[in-house]
Structure 1
Amino acid sequence: MDLLALADFTLVARHEGFGRAARESGRPKATLSRRVSELETALSTRLFERGGRSLKLTEEGRVLYARTSRLLLEMEEATAAVASGGEKPRGRLRVSAPLLFCQIAMGKIAAEFAQEYPEVRLEVTSEDRPVDMIEEGFDVVIRVNPGPDESLVGRAFLRDRLVIVASSEHSRPEENDLVPAVVRTEAELSDWSMRSSEGLKSFRIDPVLSLSSLVMVRDAVRAGIGAGRLPLSLVSHDLLAGNLILWGDADAPDIALWVLYPSRRLLSSRVSAFLNKLKRSFPSGAPEELAAFLLR
């Protein structure tokens, strides 16, 4: 495939028109149009829908643009880095991260990252849903206990665990007791089990309040509404201050936060810089390190 034609197609798609692409790049409009037509002929498919004054990507064009635009951008950056004698992090960096992690830590991490790397334009999206990194244009995603994905590589950089806590108004339950509880998901509506010095114990819950955010759950539990299952990092300061009482560890899998990125392309300097920032922020990956961000 002609890389020059592919680069011209990406340029036109990015600027949504031949005229605008020609003005931005200084390339003749006729040359860009000819290159794109040659690429369409080579691929035997139409990449743009051409109207009177509008230019719109076809479905095939959107797929091609999504999969090649970042590769070409990284090639340009690599060439510029070699020419300047070193690769300095620069350009746009899009990150998707879970809501709770964003609420606790990402604002501070992002601010420090922006100060350290002023030529990187960091964009963080807070969401718990799984995203398609290629189709949605993310460079990095942070996920909790992600499932296996052969197209992604990464590492766990932070670990936490669920604990069951309540205010001092509520006493620790006995086996099969009915306990008022603040819940976040339907999975919590079944009986709860916890591990403590007394061993494994199960009890029933009465879901008196259902909230969509773990921060809201923590605040409601702190107010004495009922017990809650919460990450240790989110309640460790309340436990030390005596605002909440630890009943025990929830009988649930440990929490691991993973940072992931596509394995099909070379790691850019801006992604490497972001990964290193996470490593410096959480050198041991312990819950206490995440809890420390609440006090900063």
Structure 2
Amino acid sequence: MKFQGTGEYIATEDLQMAVNAAVTLSRPLLIKGEPGTGKTMLAEQVARSLGKPLIQWHIKSTTKAQQGLYEYDAVSRLRDSQLGNDKVQDVRNYLKKGKLWQAFEADEQVVLLIDEVDKADIEFPNDLLVELDKMEFHVYETQEVIQARHRPIVIITSNNEKELPDAFLRRCFFHYISFPDVETMKRIVEVHFPDIKPRLVQHAMEVFFELRQVAGLKKKPSTSELVDWLKLLMADDIDPSVLANTDIRTALPPLCGALVKNEQDVALLEKLAFMTRRG
């Protein structure tokens, strides 16, 4: 089976090719792109498209690679031994299986999402090299080797907050999700709002892309923020003519809090509008 996108996710030909190439090579697919371009959602839609279960491992700044394999709860075992609990005789009762272990022992091939790998410590990717390459790991407490029954489809996302090690990159198939062009964005909007007024979409997207072109913005609005903004515009029944007459060089767009997410950018736009009116 080949991934071709879904009715809920517009995947470009390049992205479809990247997913299918990673599956063919049995390599993890490393996805980068601006926040809000659908990196995390890609794994969900690949799983849905191919009819496979999805296991999600969301990485935090405190996450360690060992947690993806398993965790040994020595404290609980000590407490149970003091209480005379018979379960202490089997160490397996105190092993908590991580997401990789769950993916390896699944009865069928799964899609494994390792989300925002760059949030963790710089050594995190290197600590997973062997496990992702050989698809096996050693459990020291039981002296077992856990091998993958079916090699999972691994999708790894990164927001590019820090550089990833070369050794890790060599083992991945890489794809950068470029920001959608106007035509692709229209298709994305149609998926979310099939009954939206064409004039509202046209004028809203003109304002949206004009806003993204403003020099000096700390955070450019993303696809997900455009979707949120359109939802608010529809809920408030904003007349498309209001957006047609909106020039971000002279005034902030209505409900701009869905698009502009920090005070520095609001101040920049207000200053731009003030200077343009004064000029």
Structure whose residues are more often helix by fraction:
2
Category of TM-score, reference length = shorter chain: under 0.3
> What is the TM-score with the length of structure 1 in the denominator?
0.24
Structure whose residues are more often strand by fraction:
1
